[in-house]
Structure 1
């Protein structure tokens, strides 16, 4: 098992050496520093994923050291040591980016557990950043945006599915980015130099679907005045993406199943088979399992398609990503339309977060484009967001700070989930200790 590097910063020599000895027996490689200044010098060459920092030291404070270490490595996970009764200091440290805090005297088993979780978090964060960078290189401004746990899981699944040739089924409501996910899989795969061929099964009339997918020979039917390759043939060497596969007729489902089994296609009007090399990715906004029960979708085809399933979450399940996406679209459309708009006022931001977004990311994109067109100022206000007012946003005249928006949003999510801290933190895309700190900061209680 690979050992994890850890920087241990504490001015108390006895405690520092005791902790280092314990951690080295439990899978860590430690480097020690007796002050913040020494820690900065050591870290430039040691560069560990995790650090333990005492909050109260002579010279540079623990709070300042957290900032300095994160300047060198933005992904470092820091656990702070604080005296019993100094939780407010620990909360401040977590606002500055610390992962967790540990009160003195240190309970060793709990300490080890938190350090292992911090190391795991570091690797997840770095992998998420690397994948986002790879997707960003491919798509430019079309990258998959978000910090929520739901979208992190999507990115992890894309990263795992991309290298192979297994079929992938992407599920989720309309507007959640299923085609973007499919394109990401293709562009991160060994087939990226070849074609990505999207087909919307719902948009092609049933009597034309077969000829579109498989192609036809000249004279195959009235009006076939030339040979035409089908979508599968065009995807030879690359990826074919069948969107809304739940709308495919049963007769076509049987033919698709056969093609998946032998990768052979016959053009309409031809007796010869073409052996093709393609990867198939499918998507549906329908419940295919329910369609199987109703006899509208073949069970054997479902099992061939669903080797890997990637569920795309609706925007309602990732509220912490709404303003990130809105800011992205605002920058894109402001640039495209030649407008200088800096952001959203608090009431508009709250309205965006409170709205249910039945059309998901696509609806949000359209709303922001319309707002940019309608705007006559340098910020988006509620006037540019018609139709988004809810009971939560009708009396926002007194809101002046984004902090008020955040407080209201956290309180609303907590209420919906009966104050389940773990689930609320997951939906908000933050650590549960960060959530507890914000509950304390905003003075929230279950009685609110």
Structure 2
């Protein structure tokens, strides 16, 4: 009667240590990545408004192109972690190499598509005549770094699957520092202008990819894993990633619809919406770090044929998600007088922002559950269910959001619709986790 609670407490402490050891470095790496664009914006902004506008348009296209392929990290993490759990490190690294080869092929295809269509893409975004030339220049040069960034995604997935989130943190910090130094040197020292910023970013991205490849190649040689491309393995990686691609596109559609609806409300509303979305994304990094830990840990347990261990860590991670959401929501409310003036001094925007911000704060525990269960199911390789669940969520959200301005609702009503979207996601993911159908043990799903 006394031993059981002690054992349960010990298990919880073990899970907590694993979650923290993986989530904290993952959070650092996630936060470091957006700093690339911040550095570019700060440096290019001093060149002039047309250059900064061109950078903004090109960066939006580039970030979309890269984020669409985030499945390279997620699917690779799950597959590698299963092999690690099964005790087969050579096969784990071999699985990771398939993801890296897929990343190179996809990156080459994106570059081949972007280079000739860059002017059309920039024009489709409505760039002004003064900003368009700078946007085209930045887009064409920076697109050359897309293969490297996709390799970074896939290699990050390999290391996460190997239960290593520290190396991605170190590489991200190094890449950020090199990117900043190169941008200053090439933009101002060499006088290359916005082209120098693009080249600096490409060089930094390629350096990050090389650093990852060195780590992966060393691991492959140490464990006798082949580095050659395996067509069957590459096809399998693509098939595993396809459902996650559908999920990602559906989620981006939700965000695009929300921004489009806010834009129809007026300048103050869309400005306030952009601020809230930035804060929402920042909090998502913290919650996504826990989800990344979930992907790696769940995959390992399932690969080791430990179904009960997977259930236990899933329950513990949900508790982490709820607690993290409560803390983030409380911080958002308490700190709002401090950070809101940093974003805008316009009282109209502030007045529009504050009630919607309260809705976001209240919904953070829901977001915590969503991110954690999303990571758990990704770690289990349950991509098809995640795709269908996100399509259902989009089908529910889209008409509700589009009706907000028709019914006279404002930005607060729109963010209630976003909360509905997250609630639908939570329900679909919770039902799946309760069913136990995601628990498929073994080295492969």
TM-score when scaled to structure 1?
0.24
Higher helix proportion:
2
Question: Which structure has the larger Rg?
Answer: 1
Higher strand proportion:
1
